Amino acid sequence: MTRRNIFALILALAMALSLTACGGKEEAPADTPAETPSEAPAEESVPTGVEDGVLTVAMECAYAPYNWAQPDDSNGAVPIANSDAGEYANGYDVMMAKKLCEANGWELEVLRLDWDSLVPAVQTGQVDAVIAGQSMTAERAEQVDFAGPYLYASIVCLTKADSALASAAGISELSGTCTSQRGTIWYDSCLPQIEGADIQPAQDTAPAMLMALETGMVDFVCTDMPTAQGALVAYPDLTILDFTTTDDDFEVSDEDVNIGISIAKGNTVLREALDSVLSEMTADDFNAMMADATAVQPIG
């Protein structure tokens, strides 16, 4: 055998061994049935977040009557897990979260986050859900899934009771300086519909928005009815401008006034668990719970 033939034989043997080492599959016998779809590996499901029996919920804890912080556990308040001062959370959102947890056998954990951090917290898995008075807008629905609604909140304005604007019968009669909370449909969509509005910079929180009105920085603010009703408890010199029964009102869609619970995209199991409770509640049930929250919210 020539040297060239010997080299060729050695190379062929080496290739055969390498294929065996790499785990090359043998041909299946002709009578071996093909793998059926049911035997194929299932796609990994989205974690529910409540595998540990705890529903971790984020809210601002600064948005009465939806949610607020207080120094003790009175009126059913629950600890704020990330509060260095040992504060407690309460409000409509907390009451609803407790109801959802009780129905599903979960414990409740509340984290305080600022408004702009709420959606990212769900997306990254820092929290299981956001229950914080969020409108179920199409823009948010691109980032998270929604359970709910868990409240229907009409859009209104607030002004001083002794203001010339207090007699306004529609948005066309509003004028002067105004503001609302940053990142809300009140500021981004509703205020621009008022032709006579001199829109000032948005406020970081609902309390800051109300303080801007109370201190005279602006002539009126735009918000939703629950926030407005809660504001009257703290600031009785304000009045609500509700144009919802007129033809001279804000143009809003259901997604603007339906308030929902944000959860991670694809978290179908958690969404269905939440909706199984919410679907049994009516608008009257929601409003009665909101009235309970308003009645115990802190003043000032």
The domain that holds 226 is classified in CATH as 3.40.190.10
Q: What is the three-class DSSP state of 196?
A: coil
The pLDDT of residue 46: 81
How confident is the model over 98-110, as a mean pLDDT? 98
The pLDDT of residue 121: 98
- Does 65 sit behind a cis peptide bond, omega within 30 degrees of 0 on the bond before it? yes
Tell me: do 144 and 162 sit in the same domain: no
Q: Is residue 43 part of a domain?
A: no
Domain tally, the chain: 2
The pLDDT of residue 299: 77
Tell me the pLDDT tens digit for each residue of 290-300: 999 999 998 76
Tell me: do 261 and 145 sit in the same domain: yes
Average pLDDT, the chain: 88
Tell me: do 148 and 264 sit in the same domain: yes
Tell me: do 129 and 263 sit in the same domain: yes
Tell me: do 271 and 142 sit in the same domain: yes
Q: Check residues 13 and 201 and name the one with the higher pLDDT.
A: 201
Tell me: do 124 and 260 sit in the same domain: yes
How confident is the model over 245-255, as a mean pLDDT? 95
Q: Which residue range forms the structural domain that includes residue 162?
A: 155-243
Tell me: do 269 and 141 sit in the same domain: yes
Tell me: do 261 and 123 sit in the same domain: yes
CA distances from 228 to 63, 66, 86, 189, 240 (A): 11, 11, 28, 18, 7
Tell me: do 140 and 162 sit in the same domain: no
Tell me: do 185 and 63 sit in the same domain: no
